[in-house]
Amino acid sequence: MMMAHLQRIAEQGDRFTREIVLPLVQGIVSFAQGEYAKAAQWLEPVCPQLVRIGGSHAQREVFEDTLLEAFLRAEQFDKAEAMLAERLERRLSPRDTFWLGRVQAGQGQRQQAKASLDVAAQIWGIGDAASPEMTALNHLAAAVH
């Protein structure tokens, strides 16, 4: 119902809905349905334009993170790696470093994956060892050793 309403608005000439809102919603719906390649197709062209929707950087980053996770789950490792390289160039992040380890593991780069996961574990070291992030990191680290 919401999707049909958005499509009507877009067809009536609302450029913002057509170019930003509808693709974001379609991307999130595709992701929720497990259609990760399709989600990436919808989200990828929109993410560079997220500033148009307003909100804080942290709020917009949710969509970027969804795109990144869609790339990973669709095994589009080159795209995920490029996105992570740009993000890690701006700032060191344990989550992005962990995701880089996932990319490297997916590409069969075991040594690089191990190094990235070790860095992520060091940065996250003060966190809760039972958190979902640490559990996922430890599971992947064991798999690449």
Q: How far apart are CA 26 and CA 6, in angstroms?
A: 10
Kindly tell me if the per-residue pLDDT of 29 is higher than 70: yes
Looking at residue 55, its pLDDT comes to 82
Cβ(72)–Cβ(99) below 8 Å: yes
Could you state, in order of their start, the residue ranges of all structural domains in the chain? 1-74, 84-145
Q: How far apart are CA 77 and CA 100, in angstroms?
A: 9
Q: Which of 84, 108, 94 is nearest to 136 (CA)?
A: 94
Q: Please tell me the pTM assigned to this model.
A: 0.87
Cβ(117)–Cβ(99) below 8 Å: no
Residue where the block lists tokens 């003060």: 126
Query: What is the per-residue pLDDT across 79-137, written as a single tens digit (0 to 9) for each?
Result: 999 999 999 999 999 999 999 999 999 999 999 999 999 999 888 876 677 788 888 88
